[in-house]
Structure 1
Amino acid sequence: MAVPARARRTARHSRRFELRATAVYFVLLALILALVGAAARTATAAAVHRPAWAVALVLMGVGAVTAGYRGKRRISAARIARRAAEALDEATQTAVEALEAASPAPSVGLVPAGAGALGGRLGTEPTILLPETETETETETEAPADTVELAYEALDPYEFEEAVAELCRRDGCLDVEVVGGAGDLGADVVARTPDGRSVVIQCKRYCDGNRVGSQDLQRFGGTCFTVHGADVAVVVTTSDFTAPALDYAEQCGIVCFDGPQLERWQEGRGPLPWEPKPSAG
Protein backbone atom coordinates (compact mmCIF):
# COMPACT_ATOMS: atom_id res chain seq x y z
CA MET A 1 0.00 0.00 0.00
CA ALA A 2 1.51 3.28 -1.08
CA VAL A 3 1.52 6.12 1.43
CA PRO A 4 0.85 9.53 -0.13
CA ALA A 5 3.74 11.90 0.24
CA ARG A 6 3.15 15.14 2.11
CA ALA A 7 3.49 18.35 0.27
CA ARG A 8 6.54 20.25 1.36
CA ARG A 9 5.93 23.60 2.88
CA THR A 10 7.75 26.45 1.30
CA ALA A 11 9.99 28.04 3.80
CA ARG A 12 9.30 31.67 4.41
CA HIS A 13 12.40 33.66 4.40
CA SER A 14 11.99 36.79 6.56
CA ARG A 15 13.31 39.93 5.04
CA ARG A 16 16.45 40.90 6.81
CA PHE A 17 17.08 44.46 7.94
CA GLU A 18 19.72 45.91 5.66
CA LEU A 19 21.42 48.94 7.20
CA ARG A 20 23.01 50.09 3.95
CA ALA A 21 19.77 50.08 1.96
CA THR A 22 17.92 51.88 4.75
CA ALA A 23 20.61 54.54 5.00
CA VAL A 24 20.59 55.12 1.26
CA TYR A 25 16.80 55.37 1.33
CA PHE A 26 16.78 58.05 4.04
CA VAL A 27 19.60 59.99 2.36
CA LEU A 28 17.68 60.06 -0.90
CA LEU A 29 14.50 60.99 0.95
CA ALA A 30 16.26 63.90 2.70
CA LEU A 31 17.72 65.04 -0.62
CA ILE A 32 14.31 64.96 -2.26
CA LEU A 33 12.74 66.94 0.60
CA ALA A 34 15.53 69.52 0.44
CA LEU A 35 15.10 69.90 -3.29
CA VAL A 36 11.33 70.20 -2.93
CA GLY A 37 11.74 72.87 -0.21
CA ALA A 38 14.21 74.85 -2.31
CA ALA A 39 11.92 74.62 -5.32
CA ALA A 40 8.98 75.80 -3.19
CA ARG A 41 10.93 78.83 -1.90
CA THR A 42 12.08 79.70 -5.40
CA ALA A 43 8.56 79.35 -6.76
CA THR A 44 7.24 81.57 -3.94
CA ALA A 45 9.81 84.28 -4.73
CA ALA A 46 8.96 84.09 -8.42
CA ALA A 47 5.22 84.17 -7.68
CA VAL A 48 5.62 87.46 -5.78
CA HIS A 49 7.13 89.21 -8.82
CA ARG A 50 5.52 87.28 -11.69
CA PRO A 51 2.33 85.37 -10.75
CA ALA A 52 1.96 84.19 -14.36
CA TRP A 53 5.23 82.25 -14.14
CA ALA A 54 4.07 80.60 -10.92
CA VAL A 55 0.82 79.48 -12.52
CA ALA A 56 2.75 78.08 -15.50
CA LEU A 57 5.09 76.12 -13.22
CA VAL A 58 2.16 74.66 -11.28
CA LEU A 59 0.46 73.58 -14.51
CA MET A 60 3.68 72.00 -15.74
CA GLY A 61 4.04 70.09 -12.47
CA VAL A 62 0.47 68.84 -12.60
CA GLY A 63 0.98 67.74 -16.21
CA ALA A 64 4.16 65.89 -15.29
CA VAL A 65 2.47 64.05 -12.42
CA THR A 66 -0.48 63.13 -14.63
CA ALA A 67 1.79 61.84 -17.38
CA GLY A 68 3.70 59.77 -14.83
CA TYR A 69 0.56 58.15 -13.53
CA ARG A 70 -0.69 57.43 -17.03
CA GLY A 71 2.57 55.87 -18.09
CA LYS A 72 2.47 53.58 -15.01
CA ARG A 73 6.18 53.44 -14.94
CA ARG A 74 8.13 52.81 -11.83
CA ILE A 75 10.51 55.65 -11.21
CA SER A 76 13.57 54.93 -9.22
CA ALA A 77 14.81 57.20 -6.46
CA ALA A 78 17.87 58.16 -8.46
CA ARG A 79 15.72 59.20 -11.42
CA ILE A 80 13.47 61.27 -9.12
CA ALA A 81 16.45 63.05 -7.64
CA ARG A 82 17.89 63.76 -11.08
CA ARG A 83 14.63 65.13 -12.44
CA ALA A 84 14.07 67.18 -9.27
CA ALA A 85 17.52 68.73 -9.68
CA GLU A 86 16.79 69.56 -13.32
CA ALA A 87 13.41 71.08 -12.39
CA LEU A 88 15.05 73.13 -9.62
CA ASP A 89 17.66 74.47 -12.03
CA GLU A 90 15.01 75.36 -14.61
CA ALA A 91 12.86 77.08 -11.96
CA THR A 92 15.87 79.06 -10.75
CA GLN A 93 16.66 80.27 -14.26
CA THR A 94 13.01 81.22 -14.77
CA ALA A 95 12.94 83.17 -11.48
CA VAL A 96 16.13 85.05 -12.39
CA GLU A 97 14.72 85.98 -15.80
CA ALA A 98 11.47 87.09 -14.17
CA LEU A 99 13.30 89.32 -11.68
CA GLU A 100 15.40 90.88 -14.43
CA ALA A 101 12.30 91.57 -16.49
CA ALA A 102 10.48 93.06 -13.46
CA SER A 103 13.00 95.92 -13.09
CA PRO A 104 12.48 98.21 -16.11
CA ALA A 105 15.37 100.34 -17.30
CA PRO A 106 14.91 104.09 -16.79
CA SER A 107 13.91 105.93 -19.89
CA VAL A 108 15.20 109.36 -20.77
CA GLY A 109 12.61 111.90 -21.88
CA LEU A 110 13.41 113.61 -25.15
CA VAL A 111 13.38 117.35 -25.44
CA PRO A 112 11.18 118.56 -28.31
CA ALA A 113 12.96 120.05 -31.30
CA GLY A 114 13.59 123.75 -30.99
CA ALA A 115 13.10 123.75 -27.21
CA GLY A 116 16.77 123.94 -26.25
CA ALA A 117 16.93 127.74 -26.24
CA LEU A 118 13.54 128.05 -24.55
CA GLY A 119 14.10 125.47 -21.85
CA GLY A 120 11.42 123.03 -23.13
CA ARG A 121 9.82 120.80 -20.54
CA LEU A 122 10.34 117.05 -20.48
CA GLY A 123 7.51 114.58 -21.16
CA THR A 124 5.23 113.20 -18.49
CA GLU A 125 6.74 109.70 -18.72
CA PRO A 126 9.42 108.64 -16.19
CA THR A 127 12.52 110.60 -17.11
CA ILE A 128 16.00 111.34 -15.86
CA LEU A 129 16.15 115.00 -14.96
CA LEU A 130 19.01 116.81 -16.63
CA PRO A 131 21.02 119.47 -14.77
CA GLU A 132 19.81 122.99 -15.22
CA THR A 133 21.74 125.17 -17.63
CA GLU A 134 21.97 128.86 -18.23
CA THR A 135 19.76 128.53 -21.32
CA GLU A 136 16.57 127.99 -19.28
CA THR A 137 13.74 130.39 -19.81
CA GLU A 138 13.94 133.59 -17.87
CA THR A 139 10.19 133.70 -17.29
CA GLU A 140 10.52 131.09 -14.55
CA THR A 141 12.57 133.51 -12.42
CA GLU A 142 10.79 136.73 -13.22
CA ALA A 143 8.40 136.55 -10.25
CA PRO A 144 10.24 135.68 -6.99
CA ALA A 145 8.41 133.76 -4.31
CA ASP A 146 8.39 136.69 -1.88
CA THR A 147 6.19 138.81 -4.17
CA VAL A 148 3.29 136.35 -4.28
CA GLU A 149 0.26 137.96 -2.72
CA LEU A 150 -1.22 136.22 0.28
CA ALA A 151 -4.79 136.42 1.54
CA TYR A 152 -3.91 137.26 5.13
CA GLU A 153 -7.56 137.27 6.16
CA ALA A 154 -7.79 133.57 5.28
CA LEU A 155 -4.92 132.64 7.60
CA ASP A 156 -5.32 131.63 11.21
CA PRO A 157 -3.59 133.78 13.86
CA TYR A 158 -0.49 131.58 14.05
CA GLU A 159 -0.13 131.46 10.25
CA PHE A 160 -0.47 135.24 10.12
CA GLU A 161 2.36 135.59 12.66
CA GLU A 162 4.51 133.27 10.54
CA ALA A 163 3.75 135.36 7.43
CA VAL A 164 4.80 138.58 9.18
CA ALA A 165 7.99 136.90 10.42
CA GLU A 166 8.75 135.81 6.86
CA LEU A 167 8.41 139.41 5.66
CA CYS A 168 10.96 140.45 8.30
CA ARG A 169 13.39 137.76 7.12
CA ARG A 170 12.91 138.80 3.52
CA ASP A 171 13.80 142.41 4.27
CA GLY A 172 17.05 141.61 6.07
CA CYS A 173 16.07 141.17 9.71
CA LEU A 174 18.13 138.78 11.80
CA ASP A 175 17.22 136.47 14.69
CA VAL A 176 13.56 136.49 13.62
CA GLU A 177 11.43 134.39 15.96
CA VAL A 178 7.69 133.81 16.43
CA VAL A 179 6.98 133.93 20.18
CA GLY A 180 3.22 134.46 20.16
CA GLY A 181 1.07 132.31 22.39
CA ALA A 182 0.00 132.00 26.00
CA GLY A 183 2.03 134.33 28.20
CA ASP A 184 3.67 136.21 25.34
CA LEU A 185 2.91 139.59 27.01
CA GLY A 186 1.91 141.16 23.72
CA ALA A 187 4.90 140.09 21.64
CA ASP A 188 4.14 137.84 18.66
CA VAL A 189 7.29 138.33 16.53
CA VAL A 190 10.69 139.52 17.70
CA ALA A 191 13.60 140.34 15.41
CA ARG A 192 16.70 142.46 14.96
CA THR A 193 16.92 145.00 12.16
CA PRO A 194 19.92 145.05 9.80
CA ASP A 195 21.32 148.02 11.77
CA GLY A 196 21.03 146.14 15.10
CA ARG A 197 17.81 147.53 16.61
CA SER A 198 15.38 145.30 18.46
CA VAL A 199 11.89 145.00 16.88
CA VAL A 200 8.83 143.70 18.73
CA ILE A 201 5.70 143.13 16.62
CA GLN A 202 2.16 142.35 17.70
CA CYS A 203 -0.04 140.77 14.99
CA LYS A 204 -3.78 141.42 14.85
CA ARG A 205 -5.57 139.38 12.19
CA TYR A 206 -8.95 141.14 12.22
CA CYS A 207 -11.71 141.35 9.63
CA ASP A 208 -12.52 144.66 7.95
CA GLY A 209 -15.31 145.55 10.37
CA ASN A 210 -13.22 144.88 13.48
CA ARG A 211 -10.67 147.64 14.10
CA VAL A 212 -7.84 147.66 16.61
CA GLY A 213 -8.83 149.84 19.56
CA SER A 214 -6.96 151.89 22.12
CA GLN A 215 -7.19 149.15 24.74
CA ASP A 216 -5.20 146.80 22.49
CA LEU A 217 -2.55 149.48 22.03
CA GLN A 218 -2.42 150.23 25.77
CA ARG A 219 -1.85 146.57 26.67
CA PHE A 220 0.90 146.32 24.11
CA GLY A 221 2.43 149.66 25.08
CA GLY A 222 2.73 148.54 28.69
CA THR A 223 5.05 145.64 27.83
CA CYS A 224 6.77 146.28 24.49
CA PHE A 225 9.36 148.72 25.85
CA THR A 226 9.65 147.87 29.54
CA VAL A 227 9.38 144.07 29.37
CA HIS A 228 10.66 143.21 25.88
CA GLY A 229 13.12 146.10 25.56
CA ALA A 230 11.97 147.06 22.08
CA ASP A 231 13.74 149.75 20.12
CA VAL A 232 10.89 149.63 17.59
CA ALA A 233 7.38 148.52 18.63
CA VAL A 234 4.96 147.67 15.79
CA VAL A 235 1.30 146.62 15.65
CA VAL A 236 0.39 144.98 12.32
CA THR A 237 -3.24 144.32 11.46
CA THR A 238 -5.22 143.23 8.44
CA SER A 239 -7.96 145.78 9.18
CA ASP A 240 -7.60 149.32 10.60
CA PHE A 241 -7.09 151.30 13.82
CA THR A 242 -9.51 153.51 15.70
CA ALA A 243 -8.70 157.20 16.15
CA PRO A 244 -8.01 156.85 19.92
CA ALA A 245 -5.68 153.94 19.16
CA LEU A 246 -3.72 156.06 16.67
CA ASP A 247 -3.47 158.91 19.18
CA TYR A 248 -2.14 156.59 21.87
CA ALA A 249 0.34 155.01 19.43
CA GLU A 250 1.65 158.44 18.44
CA GLN A 251 2.15 159.42 22.07
CA CYS A 252 4.00 156.20 22.93
CA GLY A 253 5.99 155.87 19.71
CA ILE A 254 4.29 152.68 18.49
CA VAL A 255 4.25 152.07 14.74
CA CYS A 256 0.78 151.16 13.39
CA PHE A 257 0.57 149.15 10.18
CA ASP A 258 -2.98 148.75 8.82
CA GLY A 259 -4.24 146.54 5.98
CA PRO A 260 -3.20 148.73 3.01
CA GLN A 261 0.24 149.38 4.53
CA LEU A 262 0.68 145.64 5.13
CA GLU A 263 -0.19 145.01 1.49
CA ARG A 264 2.37 147.54 0.27
CA TRP A 265 4.96 146.03 2.62
CA GLN A 266 4.24 142.58 1.25
CA GLU A 267 4.53 143.82 -2.35
CA GLY A 268 7.83 145.55 -1.57
CA ARG A 269 6.66 149.02 -2.58
CA GLY A 270 6.02 150.61 0.82
CA PRO A 271 8.01 151.70 3.87
CA LEU A 272 9.28 149.09 6.31
CA PRO A 273 7.88 149.10 9.85
CA TRP A 274 11.28 149.77 11.43
CA GLU A 275 12.16 152.69 9.20
CA PRO A 276 12.57 155.94 11.17
CA LYS A 277 8.95 157.00 11.17
CA PRO A 278 7.16 157.02 14.57
CA SER A 279 3.62 156.40 13.29
CA ALA A 280 1.74 155.67 10.08
CA GLY A 281 -1.72 156.90 10.93
Structure 2
Amino acid sequence: MTMPERRTRPVRPGRRFDLRSTAMFFGLLAAALVIGGLAVRALAGVVQRRPVWAVVLLCVALAVVLARGRRKRRLSAARLARQAGDALARGTSTALDALDTPAPAALTIPAQAGPCEDDARYPGELPPGEVTSPLPVAQGIDHEAITPDEFEAATAELCARDGCTQVQVVGGAGDLGADVTALTPDGRRLVVQCKRYGEDNKVGSQDLQRFGGTCFTVHEADVAVVVTTGEYTTPALEYAEQCGIVCVDGDGLLAWSQGRALAPWAAVPREEPA
Protein backbone atom coordinates (compact mmCIF):
# COMPACT_ATOMS: atom_id res chain seq x y z
CA MET A 1 0.00 0.00 0.00
CA THR A 2 1.45 3.32 -1.06
CA MET A 3 1.52 6.04 1.64
CA PRO A 4 0.34 9.53 0.48
CA GLU A 5 2.96 12.22 0.45
CA ARG A 6 2.49 15.10 2.89
CA ARG A 7 2.97 18.52 1.37
CA THR A 8 5.07 21.00 3.26
CA ARG A 9 4.82 24.76 2.85
CA PRO A 10 7.92 26.44 1.57
CA VAL A 11 9.69 28.55 4.15
CA ARG A 12 9.93 32.14 3.05
CA PRO A 13 12.99 34.08 4.05
CA GLY A 14 12.30 36.77 6.69
CA ARG A 15 12.31 40.43 5.71
CA ARG A 16 15.64 42.04 6.39
CA PHE A 17 15.83 45.14 8.59
CA ASP A 18 16.43 48.27 6.53
CA LEU A 19 17.71 51.25 8.54
CA ARG A 20 17.10 53.70 5.70
CA SER A 21 13.45 52.67 5.26
CA THR A 22 12.84 52.80 9.00
CA ALA A 23 14.37 56.27 9.31
CA MET A 24 12.35 57.50 6.33
CA PHE A 25 9.14 56.10 7.86
CA PHE A 26 9.65 57.88 11.17
CA GLY A 27 10.67 61.08 9.36
CA LEU A 28 7.46 61.06 7.32
CA LEU A 29 5.48 60.28 10.47
CA ALA A 30 7.03 63.27 12.29
CA ALA A 31 6.33 65.54 9.33
CA ALA A 32 2.71 64.35 9.23
CA LEU A 33 2.31 65.07 12.94
CA VAL A 34 3.75 68.59 12.54
CA ILE A 35 1.52 69.35 9.56
CA GLY A 36 -1.48 67.96 11.42
CA GLY A 37 -0.73 70.13 14.44
CA LEU A 38 -0.41 73.26 12.30
CA ALA A 39 -3.67 72.41 10.55
CA VAL A 40 -5.47 71.97 13.87
CA ARG A 41 -4.04 75.27 15.13
CA ALA A 42 -5.10 77.10 11.98
CA LEU A 43 -8.55 75.54 12.18
CA ALA A 44 -8.89 76.65 15.80
CA GLY A 45 -8.04 80.22 14.74
CA VAL A 46 -10.67 80.09 11.98
CA VAL A 47 -13.29 78.82 14.43
CA GLN A 48 -12.47 81.64 16.84
CA ARG A 49 -12.41 84.46 14.30
CA ARG A 50 -14.90 83.24 11.68
CA PRO A 51 -17.46 80.91 13.29
CA VAL A 52 -19.78 81.14 10.27
CA TRP A 53 -17.12 79.83 7.91
CA ALA A 54 -16.30 77.13 10.45
CA VAL A 55 -19.90 75.90 10.12
CA VAL A 56 -19.53 75.81 6.33
CA LEU A 57 -16.27 73.85 6.52
CA LEU A 58 -17.81 71.42 8.99
CA CYS A 59 -20.72 70.79 6.64
CA VAL A 60 -18.30 70.14 3.76
CA ALA A 61 -16.28 67.72 5.90
CA LEU A 62 -19.44 65.86 6.93
CA ALA A 63 -20.46 65.65 3.28
CA VAL A 64 -17.10 64.06 2.38
CA VAL A 65 -17.37 61.55 5.23
CA LEU A 66 -20.91 60.61 4.21
CA ALA A 67 -19.79 60.28 0.61
CA ARG A 68 -17.05 57.81 1.52
CA GLY A 69 -19.42 55.80 3.70
CA ARG A 70 -21.94 55.61 0.89
CA ARG A 71 -19.24 54.59 -1.55
CA LYS A 72 -18.61 51.46 0.47
CA ARG A 73 -22.25 50.55 -0.11
CA ARG A 74 -21.69 50.83 -3.88
CA LEU A 75 -23.84 53.85 -4.51
CA SER A 76 -23.46 55.65 -7.81
CA ALA A 77 -21.02 58.54 -8.14
CA ALA A 78 -23.81 60.81 -9.36
CA ARG A 79 -25.82 60.21 -6.20
CA LEU A 80 -22.79 60.90 -4.02
CA ALA A 81 -22.11 64.17 -5.79
CA ARG A 82 -25.75 65.17 -5.44
CA GLN A 83 -25.75 64.42 -1.70
CA ALA A 84 -22.49 66.31 -1.17
CA GLY A 85 -23.89 69.26 -3.09
CA ASP A 86 -27.08 69.22 -1.01
CA ALA A 87 -25.06 69.16 2.22
CA LEU A 88 -22.91 72.07 1.04
CA ALA A 89 -26.00 74.01 0.00
CA ARG A 90 -27.58 73.47 3.42
CA GLY A 91 -24.38 74.59 5.15
CA THR A 92 -24.14 77.69 2.97
CA SER A 93 -27.80 78.50 3.64
CA THR A 94 -27.21 78.18 7.38
CA ALA A 95 -24.19 80.50 7.18
CA LEU A 96 -26.10 83.08 5.14
CA ASP A 97 -29.02 82.96 7.57
CA ALA A 98 -26.60 83.64 10.43
CA LEU A 99 -25.11 86.59 8.55
CA ASP A 100 -28.57 87.96 7.70
CA THR A 101 -29.82 87.75 11.29
CA PRO A 102 -30.58 91.36 12.24
CA ALA A 103 -28.58 92.79 15.11
CA PRO A 104 -30.48 94.15 18.09
CA ALA A 105 -31.67 97.71 17.71
CA ALA A 106 -28.96 100.15 18.66
CA LEU A 107 -29.65 102.49 21.55
CA THR A 108 -28.58 106.01 20.65
CA ILE A 109 -27.41 108.25 23.49
CA PRO A 110 -27.62 112.02 22.86
CA ALA A 111 -24.36 113.88 23.18
CA GLN A 112 -23.85 116.13 26.18
CA ALA A 113 -21.53 118.95 26.96
CA GLY A 114 -18.00 117.69 27.43
CA PRO A 115 -14.38 118.66 26.96
CA CYS A 116 -13.56 120.32 23.69
CA GLU A 117 -10.97 118.92 21.31
CA ASP A 118 -8.60 121.82 22.04
CA ASP A 119 -8.43 120.83 25.72
CA ALA A 120 -4.73 120.58 26.61
CA ARG A 121 -5.27 118.43 29.71
CA TYR A 122 -5.00 115.14 27.83
CA PRO A 123 -3.88 112.66 29.07
CA GLY A 124 -3.87 112.19 32.87
CA GLU A 125 -5.80 113.17 35.93
CA LEU A 126 -7.95 116.24 36.06
CA PRO A 127 -6.55 119.21 37.99
CA PRO A 128 -7.76 119.50 41.59
CA GLY A 129 -11.18 121.09 41.89
CA GLU A 130 -12.07 120.51 38.21
CA VAL A 131 -14.78 117.84 38.08
CA THR A 132 -17.22 117.02 35.32
CA SER A 133 -20.90 116.53 36.16
CA PRO A 134 -21.47 112.78 36.50
CA LEU A 135 -24.77 111.31 35.38
CA PRO A 136 -26.90 109.71 38.12
CA VAL A 137 -26.77 106.30 36.42
CA ALA A 138 -22.99 106.46 36.02
CA GLN A 139 -21.98 107.87 39.37
CA GLY A 140 -20.64 105.16 41.69
CA ILE A 141 -21.52 102.22 39.46
CA ASP A 142 -22.39 99.12 41.50
CA HIS A 143 -21.91 96.06 39.30
CA GLU A 144 -23.98 93.93 41.69
CA ALA A 145 -27.00 96.20 41.33
CA ILE A 146 -27.23 96.57 37.53
CA THR A 147 -27.55 94.13 34.66
CA PRO A 148 -25.01 93.78 31.83
CA ASP A 149 -27.32 95.73 29.53
CA GLU A 150 -27.63 98.52 32.09
CA PHE A 151 -23.85 98.55 32.48
CA GLU A 152 -23.43 99.04 28.72
CA ALA A 153 -25.99 101.86 28.80
CA ALA A 154 -24.21 103.50 31.74
CA THR A 155 -20.88 103.33 29.89
CA ALA A 156 -22.50 104.87 26.81
CA GLU A 157 -23.85 107.72 28.93
CA LEU A 158 -20.36 108.36 30.28
CA CYS A 159 -19.10 108.68 26.71
CA ALA A 160 -21.92 111.08 25.83
CA ARG A 161 -21.33 113.07 29.01
CA ASP A 162 -17.71 113.67 28.06
CA GLY A 163 -18.52 115.01 24.61
CA CYS A 164 -18.83 111.96 22.35
CA THR A 165 -21.35 112.07 19.52
CA GLN A 166 -23.24 109.32 17.66
CA VAL A 167 -23.10 107.19 20.81
CA GLN A 168 -24.80 103.83 20.33
CA VAL A 169 -25.21 100.71 22.46
CA VAL A 170 -24.76 97.86 19.97
CA GLY A 171 -23.99 94.94 22.29
CA GLY A 172 -25.83 91.67 21.83
CA ALA A 173 -25.69 88.45 19.82
CA GLY A 174 -23.27 88.78 16.92
CA ASP A 175 -21.76 92.07 18.12
CA LEU A 176 -18.21 90.73 17.56
CA GLY A 177 -16.95 92.40 20.71
CA ALA A 178 -18.40 95.88 20.29
CA ASP A 179 -20.83 96.97 23.01
CA VAL A 180 -20.67 100.76 22.58
CA THR A 181 -19.60 102.79 19.55
CA ALA A 182 -19.20 106.55 19.28
CA LEU A 183 -17.19 109.43 17.87
CA THR A 184 -14.83 111.12 20.30
CA PRO A 185 -14.86 114.92 20.63
CA ASP A 186 -11.93 115.10 18.20
CA GLY A 187 -13.69 112.94 15.61
CA ARG A 188 -12.09 109.53 16.17
CA ARG A 189 -14.12 106.33 16.05
CA LEU A 190 -14.44 104.80 19.52
CA VAL A 191 -15.26 101.12 20.13
CA VAL A 192 -15.87 99.98 23.72
CA GLN A 193 -16.32 96.49 25.13
CA CYS A 194 -17.98 96.25 28.55
CA LYS A 195 -17.12 93.46 31.01
CA ARG A 196 -19.34 93.39 34.08
CA TYR A 197 -17.16 91.12 36.21
CA GLY A 198 -16.97 90.58 39.96
CA GLU A 199 -13.99 90.64 42.26
CA ASP A 200 -13.30 86.92 41.78
CA ASN A 201 -13.41 87.05 37.99
CA LYS A 202 -10.69 88.92 36.11
CA VAL A 203 -10.59 89.85 32.45
CA GLY A 204 -8.09 87.47 30.88
CA SER A 205 -5.80 87.49 27.89
CA GLN A 206 -8.25 85.49 25.77
CA ASP A 207 -10.92 88.14 26.30
CA LEU A 208 -8.52 90.82 25.08
CA GLN A 209 -7.39 88.70 22.13
CA ARG A 210 -10.95 88.16 20.94
CA PHE A 211 -11.65 91.89 21.15
CA GLY A 212 -8.30 92.76 19.57
CA GLY A 213 -9.10 90.55 16.59
CA THR A 214 -12.20 92.57 15.67
CA CYS A 215 -12.00 96.08 17.13
CA PHE A 216 -9.56 97.45 14.54
CA THR A 217 -10.12 95.23 11.49
CA VAL A 218 -13.90 94.70 11.68
CA HIS A 219 -15.14 97.76 13.58
CA GLU A 220 -12.39 100.08 12.24
CA ALA A 221 -11.73 101.62 15.63
CA ASP A 222 -9.37 104.54 16.05
CA VAL A 223 -9.58 104.06 19.82
CA ALA A 224 -10.38 100.66 21.37
CA VAL A 225 -11.35 100.51 25.05
CA VAL A 226 -12.26 97.66 27.40
CA VAL A 227 -14.15 98.73 30.53
CA THR A 228 -14.66 96.32 33.43
CA THR A 229 -16.00 96.54 36.94
CA GLY A 230 -13.27 94.13 38.06
CA GLU A 231 -9.58 93.71 37.25
CA TYR A 232 -7.30 92.43 34.50
CA THR A 233 -4.74 89.65 34.54
CA THR A 234 -1.11 90.53 33.86
CA PRO A 235 -1.04 88.75 30.45
CA ALA A 236 -4.19 90.64 29.46
CA LEU A 237 -2.59 94.00 30.27
CA GLU A 238 0.57 93.03 28.37
CA TYR A 239 -1.45 92.07 25.29
CA ALA A 240 -3.48 95.28 25.49
CA GLU A 241 -0.31 97.37 25.65
CA GLN A 242 1.08 95.64 22.56
CA CYS A 243 -2.12 96.18 20.57
CA GLY A 244 -2.89 99.70 21.78
CA ILE A 245 -6.09 98.79 23.64
CA VAL A 246 -7.00 101.01 26.61
CA CYS A 247 -7.98 99.04 29.73
CA VAL A 248 -10.19 100.61 32.41
CA ASP A 249 -10.57 98.59 35.62
CA GLY A 250 -13.07 99.02 38.44
CA ASP A 251 -11.14 101.78 40.19
CA GLY A 252 -10.55 103.62 36.92
CA LEU A 253 -14.23 103.30 36.04
CA LEU A 254 -15.25 104.79 39.37
CA ALA A 255 -12.81 107.69 38.94
CA TRP A 256 -14.06 108.30 35.41
CA SER A 257 -17.73 108.21 36.42
CA GLN A 258 -17.12 110.60 39.34
CA GLY A 259 -15.19 113.03 37.15
CA ARG A 260 -11.85 112.48 38.90
CA ALA A 261 -10.14 111.16 35.76
CA LEU A 262 -10.22 111.96 32.08
CA ALA A 263 -12.04 109.80 29.58
CA PRO A 264 -10.20 106.66 28.37
CA TRP A 265 -9.70 107.93 24.83
CA ALA A 266 -7.55 110.74 26.22
CA ALA A 267 -4.80 108.15 26.78
CA VAL A 268 -4.50 107.58 23.01
CA PRO A 269 -2.82 110.51 21.24
CA ARG A 270 -4.39 111.54 18.00
CA GLU A 271 -2.31 110.70 14.93
CA GLU A 272 -1.64 113.75 12.82
CA PRO A 273 -1.99 113.19 9.05
CA ALA A 274 1.30 113.03 7.21
Q: TM-score when scaled to structure 2?
A: 0.48
Of structures 1 and 2, the one with the larger relative CO (CA 8 A, separation 6+) is 2
Q: TM-score when scaled to structure 1?
A: 0.47
